Each structure stands twice: as structure tokens, then as C-alpha cells.
Chains A and B, each alone.
Chain A
Amino acid sequence: AQSVSQHNHHVILSEAASLELGCNYSYGGTVNLFWYVQYPGQHLQLLLKYFSGDPLVKGIKGFEAEFIKSKFSFNLRKPSVQWSDTAEYFCAVKTDSWGKLQFGAGTQVVVTP
């Protein structure tokens, strides 16, 4: 069965630290990859996506992600986090054309001032 794994469930870091969240998926075919973010009290927002082309994609708020096909990975990064980046981050994969998204378990990120 297809699956999406996020390596960390909780991450605590200080402002200005660098952030990297791991995401791996198990599917051998073509995939579309997404990172969503859910800030406290808000709904899910699309952070960035990868469909094809340059494997390094940039999203909103200074986030970027790198697709490494050989490793079935799509890790999210931000060089310097802010307190406002405190949120839950979800990796999601789409493996067919009709829209079903499969989500990872999510990573709760807490940034301390």
C-alpha cells in the first residue's frame, strides 16, 4: 500500500535556527508532491508543490523543498525560522490524476523566541 512518512512528529527550535522536515513516500510511479501548513486556529494552507521540472521548489514565506526521486523524498527546508512559523506541517502525495491526496502524519513545529 502507498504511504507517506514524516520522520519527526514534534520539532522544537529557536528563532533563526534552520529547519528541515523529512518526507518519504512509497510509490514507484509519477507523483505530485505538496507541503501544507496549518497555523494555530487556521485552516490548511498550501505551502508549496512539485509537479515536474526543477526538483528544488520555492514556496511562500521563505520555504523550499527538494524532490529527490531516487530517495522517494520531498524534504521541506527553511534557513532561518521565525516564531510565526510555529505550526503543523503536512506532507502530501498525489499519485493519480483524479485528485486524491495522501497525507503524512504531520510534524508539529514549535519555534521559541
Chain B
Amino acid sequence: SAVISQKPSRDICQRGTSLTIQCQVDSQVTMMFWYRQQPGQSLTLIATANQGSEATYESGFVIDKFPISRPNLTFSTLTVSNMSPEDSSIYLCSVEESSYEQYFGPGTRLTVT
């Protein structure tokens, strides 16, 4: 299975600032996803990021707040913009392999003060 790394692993940020989270995969994958796991809750899909096309956002998530880049088949970034305490979450990227199995990165734990 793909090995996925994320940077940073955690961060504490001030309200109103932005944070860019990086996701690196050790193999080329077409489909990458960004999820959010708020405290005590399950995972919610933010958007799907396919290389060469605009990210597709789920209901309740917008590009201005969560811009995503996907410059190549092994890398993606998610930016959390103009942060508020409600954005405190774990942000995870995942990839889907040809086996239709989805694998997850270790997550980025974000705290907004």
C-alpha cells in the first residue's frame, strides 16, 4: 500500500491566519482526498483532489476557505484560510489505489487559538 506523509504533524495557529498542510505519497496516484476529523467526531470529506483538474468540494466546504493544490501525482496541499477556533481539527489526506482501497496519512492536528 502507498505510504503517505503529512506536514506539519501538528500546529497551533492564531485566529485569522492560514495554514498550508502538505501531503506526500511514495507512489503516483490519481485520486487524493482531504478529510477533517473534528474533536470527538468522525471523518468528513472536504474535497477530492485529482491531478490536472480543479478540486471537487463537498457540501459545506468552499474553495475560498480550503484551497487545494494538486501539482502532480504524488503531492497535494490543503490550506485552511482565515482560521477560527471551529477549524481546530485533525486534517487527513488519503489516496485511493487501483485496488479501490483508500489509505490515510497520519494527519495534521490543528489547534486554533
A interface, CB within 8 angstroms of B: 32, 34, 36, 42-46, 49, 51, 90, 94, 98-106
Residues of B within 8 A of A103 (CB): 42-44
Contact partner of B103 (CB less than 8 A), chosen from A46, A94, A102, A104, is A46
- Cα–Cα distance between A106 and B43 once the two chains are bound (Å): 9
The listed residue with most B CB atoms (<10 A of its CB), out of A34, A90, A101, A104, is A101
Contact of B105 among A32, A43, A49 (CB under 8 A): A43
A99 adjacent to B105 (CB under 8 Å): no
Size category of the B interface is 20 to 34
A43 pairs with B101, CB closer than 8 A: no
* Inter-chain contact total with CB atoms closer than 8 Å: 48
Per the bound structure, the CA–CA distance linking A90 and B37 in Å amounts to 12
Beyond A44-B92, A103-B42, is A49–B101 a contact (Cβ under 8 Å)? yes
Q: Are A106 and B31 in contact (CB under 8 A)?
A: no
User: Bound complex: CA of A74 vs CA of B103, how far in Å?
Assistant: 20
Interface residues of chain B, those whose CB is within 8 Å of chain A, are 1, 31, 33, 41-45, 48, 58, 92, 94, 96, 100-107
Q: Which of B100, B105, B107 has the most chain A CB atoms closer than 10 A to its own CB?
A: B100
B8 to chain A, nearest CB (A): 15
Whether A98 lies near B42 (C-beta < 8 A) is: no
A1 nearest CB neighbor, chain B only: B59
Indicate if the CB atoms of A98 and B31 lie closer than 8 Å: yes
Contact yes or no, B33 A99, CB < 8 A: yes
A residues less than 8 Å from B31 (CB atoms): 98-99
